Amino acid sequence: MTEELCPAPLTAEETARVQALGERVYAALRLEVYGRVDLIMDSAGVCYCLEANILPGMTPTSLIPQMGIAMGMDFGQLCQRLIEASMKKYQ
């Protein structure tokens, strides 16, 4: 059984570590514009990468839109930012 928590109930330090690991995985895989890196943290605070999704779901109930909401963006704003980032890549 799993439970989705967004944002995760982590300390600021844990959040920074998880984000840094996600960014390292993203960079190592040479991903561009957007993707989703799934991580898990064990009870000792050790983080593991489960998978990287290079084309994550974008329905309003998918994880990326949920993360956008947690960051203060509605679905339209999130889509607009992804479009702008994609267009910038090909300029």
- Please tell me the predicted confidence (pLDDT) of residue 65: 92
pLDDT at 84: 95
Average pLDDT, the chain: 92
Give the model's pLDDT for residue 1: 73
Nearest Cα neighbor of 70 from 22, 29, 10 is 10
**Tokens 């982590």, residue located:** 10
Stated as kind and residue range, the H or E segment containing 49 is strand 47-53
The pLDDT assigned to 14 comes to 95
pLDDT above 90 (res 5): no
Q: What is the pLDDT of residues 43-80, one digit of tens each?
A: 999 999 999 999 999 987 899 999 999 999 999 999 99
